[in-house]
Amino acid sequence: MSQPSAHHPASTAPSDARPIVIGIDAGGTMTDTILVDRHGNFKIGKSATTPKNESEGFFASAEDAAEAWGIEIGELFSGVDVVLYSGTGMLNTLLSRTGRKLGLITTKGLEDMILMGRGLQAWADYSYADRLHAVTHHHPDPLVPRRRTHGVTERIDQFGDVILPLYEHEARAAARKLIEDEVDAICIMTIFSHVNPAHEKRIAEICQEEVAAANAPVRVYASHEIRPVIREQSRLNSVLIEAYATARGREQLAGIEKISRASGFRYGVQTLLSFGGLTSIHHPRLHETMISGPIGGILGAAYVGELIGNDSLICSDMGGTSFDMGVITRGQTRIENEPLMDRFKLNVPTLHLDTIGAGAGMILKVDPLTRKISLGPESAGSDPGPIAFAKGGTEPTIADCDAILGRLNPDYFLGGKVKLQVDKARAAFKEKCADVLGVGVEEAAEGMIEMLEADANNALRRVISGQGIHPSEFTLLSYGGSGPLHLAGCARGIGFKDIITFQFAAAFSAFGCTTADYMRRHSVSTQIDIPAQCDDDALSDFGARISSVWEELRLRAVEEMVGDGHTVEKVRTRPFLMMRYTGQLEDVEVAAPLDTITGPDEMRRVIAEFEEVYAKMNHRVSRYGEAGFTVTELGLTATAEKVKPLLVRRPLGSSDPAPAIKGARDAYIGGRWHKATLYEMDWLQPGHEITGPAIVEHPATTLVVHPGDRVFVDEWTLLHYNFA
């Protein structure tokens, strides 16, 4: 049978259809693009990520998607209304320690705060053995050395009262010294500035005066402007990382906007916030977008969950480098207020993700003395990539194993744009792995894959065990370029209610980004303790305090949205609270059931909403209202809608998938070779059923169906995987 087109359309778009949204997700290995028209039709494109100049990978991926749609690149960019870009470039700047040279001015007595850190972050990411043996421990490398940290005399207490005035001459001397040291940015963090920022503001003014006098290219960052919430260490980390890592990120995003406009795009490029929602690349708190790529998958999962009628979902994203997992439990997506990034605790609200190093690009090593096998943690990335890519890679990877076992089509990777050199990969794997282990090539390669899948399977079990509900209530959504390829091994034996993957699995995170609306989020720390037994007058007072803060945040958020070009009429605001039972250590985010609180009954509604959310995320018997309630943070999100992709619902047809068959290939699965039937993924239609052994191919991903397992295509053209 003839080779199919690399971009065979899954459905016919209306004749007037043109893309109006470009969504791009730049991962560690591949950059994925999705194009969406106003009818909700979409096509995807893919290209290797180019970390040194992300605009190159962005443009190549967009070209691939334009080819899939059948239009020229200039026509694409000149016709779209939204270009949104997400990725992990800024996080990589932090990981590789290639950011800017910083100086810090802080409250006298806190100069060693960076070196001391927090115990929680200092031991983060350590193995159990390393936690037992402290001799192996070291603190994260500080972003600011002690010699560029200056303390100034001042003190504001927890109530916002000035205890010691600011010694301005010390602040001025510190600014001058940092300018002499040729820092790129000066960061300011004083104690309790989230309650009263007066001293921080004045220090910033002094720094600006000295920078102007010296005509130095130095930027000034104040912590109360970046993240005005409690916990000095996390607030310090937030302002440091904003100053350290976002400068290069802004350059990369500016390059993407420049190439977009040169190609005909008329507006500004958007990026994705870590808590879900789009914002301009000129957002003043760009560190809030540092892990934007994986977040898109959770947004897409919530969107799909509404379609299939299941509000308990496990999202699993396997690419070339990592295996990211997100959880939606009974409609609740967990917000983490202090996520860890490279062993730094930040005050950045983030949709919670669990991540392990497990991807198709993982480098495989075998110790010749002990025969111990190591998977990663290094990844071959996109440059040089796996050996089979023939781009200079010399170390075997999981992707090479997939190619050796016939699970990847050497002539159809990226639709045939990359020809996999299977013989080259086989020879290197035999020499470096199989021969060292003393086993056959196929046995060794499948063993490596099974180790990877076992790691992912165990990680999924750990994530589920912390949710308080049985796996049979969860639907697993598997995506990412390598997700369908390893789906069977990752999910087997857990007992999910359903397992779903997608024709556009490789671009699912980009798809999720396009389901987001424009958003701003503002919040401030509070300490409002509400007793269990509280009279009406007291409840009214608590409500008035909360409403006053919400109104201040509403004005600020709407002002920012209008500054981005949205009209006031299109901006919608929704307040939220971070609450806990008094005495607990962890907060729960609660979307307020009303915009303002005007009396005791409305305050009771808010408390009841918290208890309902708490019971969903934990368990109904875990309620503890007798302890009272504490509001630790008040916030507000402002949103403006944008066009979203639609999944088209079509009637189920014949179960016979013969029209999608394109041949057969030998594939090694379960310890022996099988003649696996090959299917073109885009040719599958609602109602089709596939029985393994089979391989379902797409230019951007591959689904391996193990012998006896079945795949069913539903009315939304979602692929449901069922075990034998």
Identify the structural domains of the chain with CATH numbers, from first to last.
Answer: 19-93+250-289 (3.30.420.40), 97-241 (no CATH), 311-496 (no CATH), 520-640 (no CATH), 658-722 (no CATH)
Residues counted in the chain: 724
Buried b (16+ CB within 10 A) or exposed e, 286-296: bbbbbbbbbbb
Place of tokens 């991962």: 27
Higher pLDDT, 510 or 590: 590
d(CA 515, CA 2): 36
**Cβ distance 351 to 298 under 8 Å?**
yes
104-136 pLDDT, tens digit per residue, is 999 999 888 877 766 666 666 666 666 676 666
- Of 236, 219, 271, 246, the C-alpha closest to 94 is 246
Helices 232-262, 89-96: inter-axial angle, 10-degree rounding: 130
Record the tokens describing residue 350, joined without a space.
């983030």
Instruction: Decide if pLDDT at 707 tops 90.
Output: yes
**Cβ distance 287 to 242 under 8 Å?**
yes
d(CA 603, CA 598): 8
Cα atoms found within 13 Å of the Cα of residue 345, Cβ hemisphere only? 20
d(CA 37, CA 53): 28
User: What are the residues facing 188 on neighbouring strands?
Assistant: 105, 222
pLDDT-based confidence at residue 438 (cuts at 50, 70, 90):
very high
- Of 227, 357, 353, 238, the C-alpha closest to 296 is 353
Q: What would you report as the CA-atom Rg of the chain, rounded to the nearest whole angstrom?
A: 27
Alpha helices in 484-530 (DSSP H): 487-491, 508-514
Record the tokens describing residue 75, joined without a space.
């026509």
d(CA 248, CA 98): 9
Is 0.85 topped by the overall pTM? Answer: no
495-504 pLDDT, tens digit per residue, is 999 999 998 8
d(CA 691, CA 548): 61
Higher pLDDT, 93 or 475: 475
Q: What is the mean pLDDT of residues 406-433?
A: 90
Cα atoms found within 13 Å of the Cα of residue 451, Cβ hemisphere only? 19
Query: Cα–Cα distances in Å, from 603 out to 523, 534, 538, 591, 720?
Result: 19, 11, 10, 13, 44
Question: In the prediction, which pLDDT does 21 show?
Answer: 86
Instruction: Decide if pLDDT at 718 tops 60.
Output: yes
**Cβ distance 308 to 715 under 8 Å?**
no
Which strand (E) or helix (H) includes residue 92?
Answer: helix 89-96
Q: Which of 142-156, 401-415, 512-526, 589-603 comes out lowest in average pLDDT?
A: 512-526
Question: In the prediction, which pLDDT does 403 show?
Answer: 94
Read off the amino acid at residue 384.
P
Buried b (16+ CB within 10 A) or exposed e, 387-420: bbbeeebebbbbbbbbbbbbbbbbebbbbeebeb
User: What are the residues facing 673 on neighbouring strands?
Assistant: 668
Across all residues in the chain, what is the average pLDDT? Answer: 86
| Conformational region of residue 149, where left means phi above 0, alpha means psi within -120 to 50, and beta covers everything else | beta
Buried b (16+ CB within 10 A) or exposed e, 157-176: eeeeeeeeebebebbbebbb
Which strand (E) or helix (H) includes residue 557?
Answer: helix 536-563
d(CA 167, CA 530): 38
8-49 pLDDT, tens digit per residue, is 333 344 445 788 888 888 876 778 888 888 776 778 888 888
Question: In the prediction, which pLDDT does 8 show?
Answer: 35
Alpha helices in 405-534 (DSSP H): 422-429, 435-437, 441-465, 487-491, 508-514
Question: In the prediction, which pLDDT does 382 show?
Answer: 67
Record the tokens describing residue 605, joined without a space.
């509604």
